[in-house]
Structure 1
Amino acid sequence: MSAPESSRARGVDRVIGIFRQLHLAQRPLTMRELIEATGAPRSSVYELVTILAEAHCLEIAEDGAVFFGREMHYYGSDYAQHNDLISRSHQAILALVRKHDETAQLCTLEGNKYTVVLSENSSRPFNISSEIGVKVPIPWTATGRLLLGHLSVDEIRALIPEEDFVLDNGKRVDFADFLRDIERAAAQGYCCTEGLSHTFRYCMAAPILDRSGATTAALCFMTSRDTDPAKREVMLEDLIRSAQALSKF
């Protein structure tokens, strides 16, 4: 790679780094915070932020804080409208939330982590949810157990970092138990977990299949562990029915 090409590639990497850090922070960052978070040279960050602000991809507040600009909203909206699964899943999630008043999400894997692609919260003052796009260890989730059903034991072991089996409360997910959960989820066509990534969280997930029958994503409900079992049963039935409607058999 020639010197100009290498320089341009570094510039693209730094732009991606700026976007990623703003997304992870979920708030405007000062220039100092951006420089520290990205590890890029001060002059490069200032130059790129200026260029991106002129293109309305970023906005600079009066106090100098930087966040996404309106152009990013347009690009995201375009993607959602033209991605068939996301577009249809959004309508399904809205319908589930309207009926059950519980947080519903579209979830998938990104590399060796789990992430939320779409999320709609319940209307209640207290609800349980996860941030869109934030990467979470796979063993912490019901969805992860569904999405690994096509992998061998060796592939699963190689995919998940050892530290990801430790929950945020310090407890460790036993690998053998994790494998049994994956097998059970594949056999029953859904997965429910309780108190893993959040002490009071009860998560249920139903698979969205592609034309080959592989699980590519999942619809999820996030509710409380004290939710009435009868309500949970109805929620799970509706969740499975909605995921089947989104699947491409």
Structure 2
Amino acid sequence: MAVTESSRARGVDRVIAIFRQLHIAQRPMTMRELIEATGAPRSSIYELAAILTEVGWLETAADGSVFFGREMHYYGSDYATHNDLISRAHQAILALVRKYEETTQLCMLEGNKYTVVLSESSARPFNISSDIGVRVPIPWTATGRLLLGHLSADEIRALIPADDFVLDNGVQIDFAEFFRDVQHAKEQGYCCTEGLSNAFRLCMAAPICDRAGFPIAALCFMTSRDTSPERRTGMLEDLLQSAKALSHR
């Protein structure tokens, strides 16, 4: 029985690994790519892909590559519909995009990383966005600074891997400076960063708080650093008002 249970557990782990790799890739993957990415046996990947395709969790293209199937969309839609915060945040994001025509997002921490949960882009030719669900180092973001205000310096050091303080352009973020940013964001009730993970990007983040007053998520604008001071002020005021409306009173 133990062997059977262990085998089933490995099967579940491999299904999770397949889904994670497809999400990371953000595109269909061949069997060979999945085998290499997951490290699972060839026979196991082929068997699982066939089963998951049969139930609609995966779809297989003519060239044999696989990606998420229609059933996965239904499950995601169910979750978004029945999660009160996500459902309400989506409406708030749509309203902000209609008013400012700027990319607007709902962002959260996932373990020791940052993720975009919802994102809506404007119809403007130039917009800045991040992929939904992709795990990004916390120090690279305004949201990361905003959502760590309840932690001490030692707790933050223990949470964030040292390598995550190195931006993708090779620049090292000083921990003391990062911690000062975290404290400043807590004091002022929002966080703005410029040219951090992208030289041309301005990010504004406003906290969504739980009943105890702790920030659990953030509404964010992703826009250009060329945005005028007057427009920045209006965007930030509306962002803060929308985030406050989404918070538990």
TM-score normalised by length of structure 2:
0.99
Q: Distance in 2 between matches of 1:62 and 1:179?
A: 51
1:164 has 2:164 as partner: yes
- In structure 1, the partner of 2:112 is 112
Superposition deviation, residue 219 in structure 1: 0.2
Distance 1:125 1:20 in 2: 31
Q: Measure how far apart 1:104 and its partner are.
A: 0.1
Matched residue SS, 1:216: strand
In structure 2, the residue matched to 1:25 is 25
Q: Distance in 1 between matches of 2:224 and 2:168?
A: 18
- Say which SS state the counterpart of residue 21 (structure 1) adopts: helix
What's 1:186 paired with?
Answer: 186
- 2:78 maps to 78
Question: In the alignment, which residue of structure 2 is the partner of 1:48?
Answer: 48
| 1:172 Cα deviation after fit | 1.1
State the partner residue of 1:142. Answer: 142
Q: What amino acid is the match of 1:51?
A: I
Alignment partners' CA distance in 2, 1:173 and 1:157: 13
- What is the deviation of 1:149? 0.6
Aligned-pair CA distance for 1:169: 1.4
What is the CA–CA distance in structure 2 between the aligned matches of 1:232 and 1:172, rounded to whole Å? 28
Which AA in structure 1 matches 2:122? Answer: S
What are the Cα deviations for residues 146-190 of structure 1, in whole angstroms up to 9, with x where unaligned?
110111111000001111111111111111111111111011100
Which residues of structure 2 form unaligned runs of 5+?
A: none
User: Secondary structure of the equivalent of 2:193?
Assistant: strand
- Deviation sequence 1:27-53 (CA, Å, 0-9, x none): 000111111111100000000000000
Shift of 1:229: 1.3
SS at match of 1:221: strand
Deviation at 1:126, TM superposition (A): 1.6
Instruction: Report SS of the residue matched to 1:207.
Output: strand
1:222 match: secondary structure: strand
Match of 1:88 in 2: 88
Q: Which residue of 2 aligns with 1:233?
A: 233
In the alignment, the residues of structure 1 paired with residue 95 and residue 40 of structure 2 have an alpha-carbon distance, to the nearest angstrom, of 44
Shift of 1:228: 1.1
Match of 1:57 in 2: 57
3-state SS of 2:64 partner = coil
> TM-score with structure 1 length normalisation?
0.99
Letter in 1 for 2:54: E
Q: Which whole-Å CA distance do the structure 2 matches of 1:229 and 1:113 have between them?
A: 31
| Displacement after TM superposition at 1:121 (Å) | 0.6
Aligned to 1:12: 12
Which string of whole-angstrom CA distances, capped at 9 and with x for unpartnered residues, describes residues 92-144 of structure 1?
00000000000000000001000000000111112100000001110000000
Q: Which residue of 2 aligns with 1:204?
A: 204
| Aligned residues: CA RMSD | 0.8
Shift of 1:227: 1.0
The runs of 4+ residues in structure 1 deviating greater than 6 Å are none
Residue segments in structure 1 that go unaligned for 5+ positions in a row: none
SS in structure 2 at match of 1:59: strand
1:211 counterpart SS class: coil
Measure the CA separation in 2 of the matches of 1:214 and 1:6.
Answer: 39
Paired letter, 1:169:
N
